[in-house]
Amino acid sequence: MKLIRLLLLLAFCFLALPLAAQDGFVVMSLKGKVEAKAPGNKSVWQSVKVGDVLGQEHTVRTAFASYVKIMAAGKRLLSIDENSTRKLSQLASSQTAPAKGSASGRLLEYAAAQVKNTRSRQDEPVFGAVRGNTEVFSAVFPKNVVMTTEPLFEWVDGGEAGEYQFLLLDDGFDVVARASVEEHRLQYEGETLPALEEDREYFWRITRLSDGMDSDIQSFRILPADTIAAVREELTRLDEELTAMGADSVTLHLIRAIYFEKRGLYSDAFIEYKETVSLAPEVDEYREMLRGLLFRMKLYAEEEYLLPNHAE
């Protein structure tokens, strides 16, 4: 019964996704010098950025060692390789859309809308909880739901690194495990710690031994085995479809991040967004999407510790 409710909830999430502009071409990723021009004698070539929305009348050109991946009407990815000049209407008509019921389906449409909307959100003020001037010490991941019985636990500490006490409780608030740690993370291993169970909720916190300060308490639920198998199968099909469309590594990680985020798999989404940013550190839109994930997770004060900087 729990599985049925979960599947119905996931189905509802996708039915409720906002639609991208049906006739628009959203720039998802690019490398090097990419320009676009509208028809007309007075029209000039203008630089293209991630999140730009182009029309069918636009012509796109790429320079040497450059390329661009464009989402066409939220249905498929179009690729324009280096040293090419292509009119979008002609390029779109030469491509076939994914088969009905494919894994990409409405996810591509939603992904295009997310990238496009990120451009308009960058100048909006961010409102959130204010923690004052106290030192940041917070349990971070895992949170919400996860797909493994051996999750990676992570926390942030604005002070000097020291020794920590890890505490894990089950849904009856009985102690499952304790461990001493000298880093800001703990890879849970069933061989050395009590095995965790699928389809069960857990609670955890960290105690800083230097002053006895406790972090906030985080909770997470491990998905049932059949749900995990279904998600992994869908991810495999999604990767295959995107690869067939010519998706680059940046686009693959970006869409996987959006996929995980929509399903509440925030730890997995964070890893994929962070990889996207590391592959394209110059694209502020990707960084903004990662910032949006942290905001939805209420990790306001932790942002400076979790967001990769431009130098990484």
Is residue 5's pLDDT more than 70? no
CA dist 259 and 295 (Å) reads 17
Is residue 107's pLDDT more than 50? yes
Beta strands of 88-146 (E only): which ranges? 137-141, 144-146
CA dist 84 and 64 (Å) reads 9
- The pLDDT assigned to 241 comes to 87
CA dist 120 and 124 (Å) reads 8
Q: Quick one: pLDDT band at residue 97, thresholds 50, 70, 90?
A: low
Domains and CATH numbers, the chain: 2-118 (no CATH), 134-312 (2.60.40.1220)
DSSP 162-224: --EEEEEEETT--EEEEEEESSSEEE--TTTSPPP-SSEEEEEEEEETTTTEE---EEEEEPP
CA dist 151 and 280 (Å) reads 27
Mean pLDDT of 3-20: 39
Is residue 16's pLDDT more than 50? no
Question: pTM for the whole thing?
Answer: 0.77
Cβ atoms of 158 and 187 within 8 Å: the answer is: no
Tell me: the pLDDT tens digits for 283-298? 888 998 999 999 988 8
* Residue 243, CA distances (Å) to 14, 240, 270, 308 in order: 22, 5, 22, 27
Mean pLDDT of 168-193: 94
CA dist 135 and 295 (Å) reads 19
Tell me: the pLDDT tens digits for 113-147? 777 777 655 544 444 444 433 478 999 999 999 99
